[in-house]
Structure 1
Amino acid sequence: MNVRTLYHTARAVQELVATERESDVSRSLRRRLWLWRRGFVSRSDAVYDLDPETYRDYVSDYERFVRTKRINGTWSVALSNKLLFHRLMQPFDDERMTVYGLIRDGTYHPIDDRRDRREVTDGGPAASGPIGTGGPPSEPPQSSAHPRETGNAAQRVIDRLEVEDRLVLKWVRGGGGNNVLLCSRTGDGYRVNGDRYPESAFRSLVADLDEYLVCEFVDQGPFPTALYPATPNTIRLITMYDDELGEPFVAAAIQRIGTTDSAPLDNFTQGGLSAAIDLETGELGPGARPPDGDGVEWHSTHPDTKMAVEGERIPGWQRIRATVLEMADACPFVPYVGWDVIVTDDDGGFTVIEANSYPGLKSIQVHEPLLADDRVRRFYERHGVR
């Protein structure tokens, strides 16, 4: 094992230890030792059905944090760096979210021109028409003659919010919903993740950000909105590349649904629901909620809105699954991907929010252990996870 691998393994173990320390699940020392010898933390004991007969069917926390990190090798950066992933998905432009710019050291760097397109004619930019007129979309007001003027990030974000009303600011690296800021414009200032900010405080917040992407806020379609309107409700699909058959496959998929506990996001670990998706029909199972202590809560209807969850079907599921597999097939050098997508209409339209190189598995395996599927087990064995 080389120095680089040792370093990353040590970092992964540190992350695993931190997860155990942050767990609010009480376990006896004897039980904790039993779990640790098998690679699990206490939180997983409360989510999974772990006993001497069943634990071997689950991808353990050690395997997830340490070994699945290695599956994509040097290409993991294509997923962990959200801007590189955005570029990688360029052939699938209809399914990409717009990335307006990058904030770095207080400076705004334009990235995507799909909403800010300027056609150069006769040596100069063409005029832009207003949104909805059929012409090129309107430009936000420019705060300076040069878009990369030092220290202009806050003004550029404010200018963009004048056009879009809502934006998502997210760190270029990292996942799990951490470091994601949902920003909106209000009559007397701004909101960030539901909290009010006067303009001066909002400017300070943006000015202090570093390595953050300024992204469009994707409007979800009628189906995810009906599940819970107060949060974006994303689908997580895990794809694996089968080297023997030379094709990717969907190993598992869940519909994540926000709650009052998880808002403004839909994260399972923060109290959101996870409903298993039937890979053939798109039908949802009951929503699982992480334990407050011991035992997973199961909900056939949403605990806040009382809307049905179990038995509902994702509209356009066949197209969603087929398109995600097409994306995975275009990148066989990245064999292991956790895709986060938002359904945008009832015809199978969707937008990819991001992708993960070693996706979290609790919200997946709460429904059934991944290794119970022989094809999934073979994939993990081929890549040294098992």
Structure 2
Amino acid sequence: MNVRKLYHTARGVQDLVTTEREASVSPSIQRRLWLWRRGFLSRSDAIFGLTKKNHDSYLTDYQRFVKTKRINGTWSVALSNKLLFHQLMGPFDEHRMDVYGMIRDGSFHSIDSLDARHELTDGGAVVSSDGPSIDDQSGLTSPEPNDAAQRVVDRLESESQLVLKWVHGGGGNNVLLCKRCEDGYTVNGDRYSESAFRSLVADLEEYLVCEHVEQGTFSGGLYPVTPNTLRIITMYDEEAGEPFIAAAIHRIGTETSEPLDNFTQGGLSAEIDLETGELGPGVKLSDGNRLEWHSDHPETDTTIDGTHVPGWEDIRTRLLEVADACSFVPYAGWDVIVTGDDGEFKIIEANSYPGMKSIQVHGPLLTDDRVRRFYERHNVC
């Protein structure tokens, strides 16, 4: 084992141990030992209902945390670094969100817009890209044109909503949903005065300033408070020379999961039929890690079970084209927002070793022979 593999193995085991320590379930020591010997965490037992007969049909936590991290090799950075991923999606511009810039050392660094160092106005002052000027009314020096807080505030004045994402990491962590309101701002639902909001932005380091993607009527109707994303797992079949979709779910937010739709934070997961786009019932982790199944959304009463993702065939076809263009990254969990009724969508991000709880809560992955062969080929199973 080379140094790189040794490092990632150690990090994976560390993440595995940390996750187990933070688990809110406490099976007996005997049960935990049974699970650990087979590569599972306590929470997975509560979700999957593991037995001697079925446990080998599930991708284990050890395989996910340690072994699947190795599948994409050095190219995993193309997905884990959100700025690199944004550039990777350049040929599919209609399916990527706009990224206006990055916040670094208190400055705004333009990404998508070449003319981003535009003139700013502040109380009658005009600030050009050549540097600060003196306000002709107050005599005060105006902000630098690339001042991060000012640029974010200006953008919110015109768009009212933005998403700030840390360049690194995944799982919905370090994502700030920012909105302009009458008396200031909200960040992930918490209110901020303008001065507090500016301080928050100024303290961010290596955060992307992204457009807020408006979801379509179908996804928005399921639960309008949160973005409700599709999680689609693709794998590249080297023998066939093509990618395929291994599994897909529609994640749906709830009052518990706000401001996001994460399953492990209380959101719903509804399985998507890969051929028809039909949704099954939504499942939610309740207190005590018990599963609740819902044909209708428990808060909006919107029907889930039996409805169809609009334009699913087009979404599936187009996403496979994207995965094929990225065949050097053979394993990905794509987060997609459906923006219209005719197959329009945007890819929010992709994950190099996607979580499995929201997927395998609907059934074990390894019962699919093609999926099992993929994992075996990459020394996961």
Q: Pick from 128, 131, 136: which aligns with 1:145?
A: 128
Quick one: which amino acid aligns to residue 372 of structure 1? T
1:188: Cα distance to partner? 1.1
> What SS is found at the alignment partner of 1:229?
coil
Q: How does 1:16-165 map to 2 (within 5 A)?
A: 16-113=16-113, 141=120, 144-146=127-129, 149=144, 152-165=147-160
User: Matched residues in 2 for 1:315 and 1:4: separation?
Assistant: 43
1:150: Cα distance to partner? 8.9
- With over 3 angstroms needed to count, the CA separation of the structure-2 counterparts of 1:294 and 1:201, relative to structure 1, is closer
Mapped contact 2:129–2:145 kept (Cα < 8 A): no
Q: Pick from 161, 169, 173: which aligns with 1:174?
A: 169
> What SS is found at the alignment partner of 1:8?
helix
* Aligned residue number for residue 121 of structure 1: none
User: Matched residues in 1 for 2:177 and 2:58: separation?
Assistant: 34
* % same residue: 69
> What SS is found at the alignment partner of 2:27?
coil
User: Matched residues in 2 for 1:64 and 1:347: separation?
Assistant: 34
4+ residue runs over 6 A deviation: none
Q: How does 1:220-235 map to 2 (within 5 A)?
A: 220-235=215-230
Q: How does 1:227-266 map to 2 (within 5 A)?
A: 227-266=222-261
- With over 3 angstroms needed to count, the CA separation of the structure-2 counterparts of 1:191 and 1:303, relative to structure 1, is same
Mapped contact 1:140–1:160 kept (Cα < 8 A): no
Quick one: which amino acid aligns to residue 7 of structure 2? Y
- With over 3 angstroms needed to count, the CA separation of the structure-2 counterparts of 1:142 and 1:59, relative to structure 1, is farther
1:306: Cα distance to partner? 1.1
1:62: Cα distance to partner? 0.4
> What SS is found at the alignment partner of 2:318?
helix
Mapped contact 1:46–1:291 kept (Cα < 8 A): no
User: Matched residues in 1 for 2:3 and 2:345: separation?
Assistant: 41
> 1:28-70: CA deviations, max 9, x gaps?
0000000000111101001002111100000000000000000
Q: How does 1:272-351 map to 2 (within 5 A)?
A: 272-351=267-346
> 1:182-219: CA deviations, max 9, x gaps?
00101111000001000010001000000100000000
Quick one: which amino acid aligns to residue 346 of structure 1? D
> 1:252-276: CA deviations, max 9, x gaps?
0000000000011000000000000
Q: Pick from 361, 365, 372: which aligns with 1:377?
A: 372
User: Matched residues in 2 for 1:147 and 1:8: separation?
Assistant: 46
* TM-score, L = length of structure 2: 0.93
Mapped contact 1:140–1:159 kept (Cα < 8 A): no
* Aligned residue number for residue 189 of structure 1: 184
Mapped contact 1:142–1:159 kept (Cα < 8 A): no
User: Matched residues in 2 for 1:106 and 1:150: separation?
Assistant: 12
- The number of residues matched between the two structures is 365
User: Matched residues in 1 for 2:103 and 2:307: separation?
Assistant: 40
Q: Compute the RMSD of aligned alpha carbons.
A: 1.7
* TM-score, L = length of structure 1: 0.92
1:145: Cα distance to partner? 2.9
> What SS is found at the alignment partner of 2:76?
helix
1:163: Cα distance to partner? 1.0
User: Matched residues in 1 for 2:320 and 2:220: separation?
Assistant: 25
Q: Which runs of 5+ in 2 are unaligned?
A: 132-143
User: Matched residues in 2 for 1:250 and 1:117: separation?
Assistant: 39
> What SS is found at the alignment partner of 1:19?
helix
User: Matched residues in 2 for 1:62 and 1:142: separation?
Assistant: 54
The yes-or-no answer on 1:2 pairing with 2:27 is no
- With over 3 angstroms needed to count, the CA separation of the structure-2 counterparts of 1:232 and 1:140, relative to structure 1, is farther
Mapped contact 2:99–2:208 kept (Cα < 8 A): yes
User: Matched residues in 2 for 1:308 and 1:147: separation?
Assistant: 56
1:294: Cα distance to partner? 4.4
> 1:103-156: CA deviations, max 9, x gaps?
01111000012xx768xxxxxx9xxxxxxxxxxxxx684674339959711011
